[in-house]
Amino acid sequence: MDLPIVYYNETEWAKTHTGNKVNKKHAIAGTQNIVIAGKTLIEEGVTIRGDLATVKIGKFCVLKARCDIRPCLKIFSKKPTMCNVIIGDYVYIDEDCIVNAAQIFAFVHLGARAVLGNGCVIRECSRVLPDTVVSPDAVFPPFSTIAGNPARVIGTEPMCTENLMTEAMTMYYDNFVPRQGATLVP
Amino acid sequence: MNAEYLWRSIVESVARSNLIFRKKVHIMTDSSRVSIATSTIVCVEAEIKGEVIIKEGCVVHPHVVFDATNGPIYVGENNIFEEFAVIRNNSEGQPMIIGDSNIFQVHSKCSAKYVGSRNVIGVHAHLEDGCSVSDDCSIGPKCRVFSKQNLEPSVAVYGPSNSHRVTSTPNLTPTLQLEFLRKILPSYHHLYNKKKVTAAAQ
Amino acid sequence: MSALLQYGKIKYECSCGKWRTLPDLFFCRHCFKIKCDDCSCREIDAIFCPRCLDTSSPPEARLKKHKCTSCNDCPNCANVLSARVENEKYYLHCHHCRWSTRDAKQEDRESNKSWPTKENPVTNHLNEVTAYMKRMEVIENAPKDLKKGKGKAWSAIHLKDKFGVQQMVEKRRKAMVPEMNPLKAHDPTEAPTLEEEIENRSNVLRSLDQIIMQPLTNSNELLLPVKVPLQGRVMVRCDECERTLVKRDFGVATYKFKISSFAREFIPDIRMSRPVGELKIGETAHVFLSVTNLSSSPLELTITPQSGEGTIKCSNEPIQLNLPSSKSIDSAAGGVHAEQSDVIVFRQHNRVGLRLDVVPTESDLTSPVLDLLLNYKQDGSFSILAASEKVLKPEESGVDRILSAHLRINLS
């Protein structure tokens, strides 16, 4: 199914010059350490703790309502550091996810209410099903379907996931239009 | 040993020590019943309602809710409360006691009557009314501790069906994390102490 | 994304007769057929550890018994075991259930490699027996070898050199009778009785998952960490013409493909544009579809609704469309028949929206299925590629082929 057109109220959203659309009701801390590549949608209630470490988010990402991105804690020879979070391009993070991961690579789809443990790494083109709990320090290979509590690889994703995610995310961004009254091309 | 008797004795001894603490260190004015120690860092976005006493060294991230409208909450030293944690006392007037060096992770809900020391309450975990958790436990993500459950020391609760297991390795203490947070958080957030004091002074 | 774009409702027919969603299908450029999981072969082209993404060659993997040497799993809950340092020594610890190697009474180690795992208790005995059998094999095959090749050489030397005969005899004897001690076969042991087993059983019960991971542990033994099994990376081949359909790039962790003939890039992609409203018997319902051309050549397409048995009756005539490719620059799309303009809802660059009218009957309400037949013409430039690989005769290249695809849309 094609993604539907979503209308938003222009007063509630801020648009940056790189094309990011950020809802004004967010809980983002430490904006100077957060780098978003462009054309990303950040919905309401999203928490990004940029005060703890730098957060890099790729282009055409979608962060749905109330998700939480926190840098993970790593202890190197008795010195604790919050390691930087790097999220790739074309990533879809569904509602209420809690991401304590060290890295999320490109073309990943995180289902609703997923909990990614401290320092885990999700490689490209993977999908995390809703309500999964990924244990800390887990690494998953590309094209894996991850589900369960504790999380396990239960299947492989179709090999054309890269094209599918690119198409889906660009369609999502293009269909996210401000409410203007007249309906345009569907 | 009778768990109920054990709990009562712990509560009474801690309440006594906290009473002494309250008389000695009285930072806030009489109108507010919230008293927070000087080295504790509480972000302004946290909500504190009712009678809450927090001892030294704690770190409270933004958007934490302390709801002590029904009964007082006494929090020990060196705890970490991460975002959206909800510490709510649902009992009628009974105090809720939280020990030292605990970590309450994101979105955890604690209504327990007693939480010991060095515990880790995981993401989205739920401690229901009336339960008690002793020392060195770890409650996994999305797990629940049901009311009237009294967890023994060094128990791990994990898995979708809340299985219990007695563990031998202790949790990592949050001391290193606390040092880091105490340095970093004041530079990015307005802190509770200073704002309240300036408001009271005016 | 299959879940976001909801491809689950639309199934295409593969050349073997199975119905699959479009992302799961491949297209063989040389046979011009759609291939699915079942009519294509899978081969393993790389073996790697899913956790540390470390490759190994097939003989290496056999040596390692297809388990990674450095990655371990928790025997209690099958989760990741991460290393922690204390006093400059490492121990393994599971974050999920907090099992650690200290529970198994293992001491902390200096380096993080080669943690012990549960060994098969009869491994040594098995190795001895295997070596013994191999030596027996050499002995038994020795006369055959001598008969085959060495017989002639032996007789020639025999004629030449009298004094050399003794040497040859010695050599032959050595080859035939090596020094070895025959292994003693031990008496068959008696199976333990049920009463003994019940007496010796401890209170610890192992769950089925734990037993499957480590099949040889008794319940009174302590659990040891389990090594992570290696995985193979798959390459897909067409089973008729034996050509590769999908091959990944070099490197285990890549998501790029060297060869990728996914069905999406050759067959027009039909999706539902809007969710279908309520279906009522006898009333015309509208089904909105969008047709996308994802290939690199312009497409001429005819959509014919099939109203056969088990499918909803669709009252539209066959629709003809011309879609430019996704890479063409001019967005002016031509070839739309004027009288069919009421069927076309919108036109974008390489996408067209259609509206089909559907009249459901009584039997269709439980599982309404819309059946469509697509006849599409691939541009001639596409099959030139095949000719260069010497599949088609040079005269045939350049001729446009008309291919068909059959698809079913679930409207519930």
Question: Are B169 and C102 a contacting pair at CB < 8 A?
Answer: yes
Task: Provide the sign of the torsion angle of the four alpha carbons C32, C38, C42, C47, taken in this order.
Answer: positive
CA distance C315 to chain B (A): 51
Residue C108 forms contact with B (CB below 8 Å) = no
What pLDDT, on a 0 to 100 scale, did the predictor assign at position A134?
Answer: 92
* Nearest C-alpha in C relative to A94: C4
In Å, how far are A163, B92, B121, B136, C137 from B113, measured between CA atoms? 53, 11, 15, 17, 75
Mean of pLDDT values over C400-410: 82
What pLDDT, on a 0 to 100 scale, did the predictor assign at position B104?
Answer: 93
What pLDDT, on a 0 to 100 scale, did the predictor assign at position B195?
Answer: 47
Rounded CA separation C313/C307 (Å): 5
Rounded CA separation C68/A38 (Å): 40
Of the partner residues C77, C96, C98, the one whose CB lies closest to the CB of residue B169: C98
The 10s digit of each residue's pLDDT in C76-132 is 888 888 888 877 788 888 888 888 888 877 777 777 777 887 777 788 888 888 888
* Nearest C-alpha in C relative to B172: C84
Residues of B in contact with A100 (CB under 8 A): 123
Rounded CA separation C100/C106 (Å): 9
Residue A47 forms contact with B (CB below 8 Å) = yes
Question: Are A51 and B142 a contacting pair at CB < 8 A?
Answer: no
Fold of the CATH domain C267-410:
Immunoglobulin-like (2.60.40)
What pLDDT, on a 0 to 100 scale, did the predictor assign at position C86?
Answer: 79
Of the partner residues B83, B177, B189, the one whose CB lies closest to the CB of residue A80: B177
* Nearest C-alpha in A relative to C7: A1
Say if residues C348 and C321 touch (Cβ distance below 8 Å).
no
What pLDDT, on a 0 to 100 scale, did the predictor assign at position C351?
Answer: 84
The 10s digit of each residue's pLDDT in C308-330 is 776 777 777 777 777 777 766 55
Interface test with B, best of C86, C98, C106, C207 (most B CBs within 10 A): C98
**Angle C295-A171-C404 from CA coordinates, rounded to 5°:** 30
Question: Are B185 and A51 a contacting pair at CB < 8 A?
Answer: yes
What pLDDT, on a 0 to 100 scale, did the predictor assign at position C387?
Answer: 44
Between A43-47, B74-78, C110-114, C232-236, the lowest mean confidence (pLDDT) is in C110-114
Of the partner residues A77, A160, A185, the one whose CB lies closest to the CB of residue C23: A160
Residue C26 forms contact with B (CB below 8 Å) = no
In Å, how far are C10, C13, C326, C365, C406 from C21, measured between CA atoms? 6, 9, 21, 22, 12
* pLDDT under 50: residue ranges of chain B: 1, 20-31, 195, 197-202
Amino acid at C399: V
**Size of the A and B interface in Cβ pairs below 8 Å:** 54
Residues of B in contact with A29 (CB under 8 A): 62, 188-189
What pLDDT, on a 0 to 100 scale, did the predictor assign at position C395?
Answer: 47
Question: Are C290 and A143 a contacting pair at CB < 8 A?
Answer: no
Residues of C in contact with A160 (CB under 8 A): 23, 260, 262, 264
Q: Strand C226-229 to strand C231-238: parallel, antiparallel, or no bridges (unpaired)?
A: unpaired
Three-state DSSP state, C263: helix
Q: What is the DSSP string of C338-395?
A: GGGTTTEEEE-SSEEEEEEEEE--GGGTTS-EEEEEEEEE--HHHHHHHHHTTSS-TT
Rounded CA separation B49/A140 (Å): 43
Residue A84 forms contact with C (CB below 8 Å) = no
What pLDDT, on a 0 to 100 scale, did the predictor assign at position C219?
Answer: 72
Question: Are A162 and C48 a contacting pair at CB < 8 A?
Answer: no
Question: Are C76 and B169 a contacting pair at CB < 8 A?
Answer: no
CA distance C274 to chain A (A): 7
What pLDDT, on a 0 to 100 scale, did the predictor assign at position C391?
Answer: 45
The 10s digit of each residue's pLDDT in A23-32 is 988 888 888 8
Q: Give phi and psi for C307, each to the nearest 5.
A: -110, 80
Mean of pLDDT values over C250-258: 87
Mean of pLDDT values over C122-148: 82
Question: Are A185 and C346 a contacting pair at CB < 8 A?
Answer: yes
Residues of A in contact with C246 (CB under 8 A): 159
Rounded CA separation B62/B46 (Å): 5
The per-residue pLDDT of chain B, averaged, comes to 81
Question: Are A161 and C262 a contacting pair at CB < 8 A?
Answer: no
With tokens 């599971």, the residue in question is: C94
Between A51-60, B5-14, C69-78, the lowest mean confidence (pLDDT) is in B5-14
Residue ranges of chain C assigned to CATH 2.60.40.10: 267-410
Superfamily designation of domain A6-174:
Hexapeptide repeat proteins (2.160.10.10)
The per-residue pLDDT of chain C, averaged, comes to 78
Residues of B in contact with A98 (CB under 8 A): 106-107, 123-124
Mean of pLDDT values over A155-168: 89
If pLDDT is split at 50, 70 and 90, which confidence band does C389 have?
A: very low
Q: Write down the pTM of the prediction.
A: 0.82
**Angle C49-C94-B144 from CA coordinates, rounded to 5°:** 125
* Nearest C-alpha in C relative to A128: C3
Between A100-114, B93-107, C242-256, C387-401, the lowest mean confidence (pLDDT) is in C387-401
What pLDDT, on a 0 to 100 scale, did the predictor assign at position B197?
Answer: 42
The per-residue pLDDT of chain A, averaged, comes to 88
CA distance A30 to chain B (A): 6
Say if residues C75 and B134 touch (Cβ distance below 8 Å).
no
In which order are the strands placed within the sheet that holds B163-166?
B41-42, B59-60, B80-81, B103-104, B120-121, B138-139, B155-158, B163-166
Of the partner residues C76, C91, C98, the one whose CB lies closest to the CB of residue B138: C98
Rounded CA separation C379/C402 (Å): 9
User: Is the confidence at residue C158, as pLDDT, over 60?
Assistant: no
Between B154-163, C14-23, C30-39, C390-399, the lowest mean confidence (pLDDT) is in C390-399
The alpha helices in A72-143, defined as continuous H runs, are: none
Say if residues C302 and C404 touch (Cβ distance below 8 Å).
no
Mean of pLDDT values over A150-161: 89
Interface test with A, best of B43, B83, B165 (most A CBs within 10 A): B83
Task: Provide the sign of the torsion angle of the four alpha carbons C314, C315, C316, C318, taken in this order.
Answer: positive
Q: Distance from CA of residue B122 to its chain's centroid?
A: 13
Question: When comparing pLDDT for B30 and C350, which is higher?
Answer: C350
Residue B27 is classified by DSSP as -
If pLDDT is split at 50, 70 and 90, which confidence band does C251 have?
A: confident
In Å, how far are B4, B6, B149 from B9, measured between CA atoms? 9, 5, 17
The 10s digit of each residue's pLDDT in A100-153 is 988 999 999 999 999 999 889 999 999 999 999 999 989 999 999 999 888 889
Question: Are C1 and A142 a contacting pair at CB < 8 A?
Answer: no
What pLDDT, on a 0 to 100 scale, did the predictor assign at position C339?
Answer: 40
Rounded CA separation B57/C289 (Å): 61
User: Residue B45's closest CA among C409, A27, A113?
Assistant: A27
Interface test with A, best of B144, B180, B187, B190 (most A CBs within 10 A): B180
User: Residue B129's closest CA among B91, B86, B157?
Assistant: B91
Rounded CA separation C396/C388 (Å): 12
The 10s digit of each residue's pLDDT in C35-65 is 888 888 899 988 999 998 888 999 999 988 8
Of the partner residues C84, C91, C98, the one whose CB lies closest to the CB of residue B156: C98
Element spanning C89, H or E: strand C89-94
User: Beta partners for A104?
Assistant: A87, A122
Rounded CA separation C53/A141 (Å): 7
Rounded CA separation C47/C30 (Å): 29
Using N-to-C axis directions, what is the helix angle for C164-176 and C151-160, rounded to 10°? Answer: 150
What pLDDT, on a 0 to 100 scale, did the predictor assign at position C192?
Answer: 75
- CATH of B3-201, picked from 3.10.20.30, 3.30.420.40, 3.40.50.12160, 2.160.10.10, is 2.160.10.10
What pLDDT, on a 0 to 100 scale, did the predictor assign at position C294?
Answer: 84
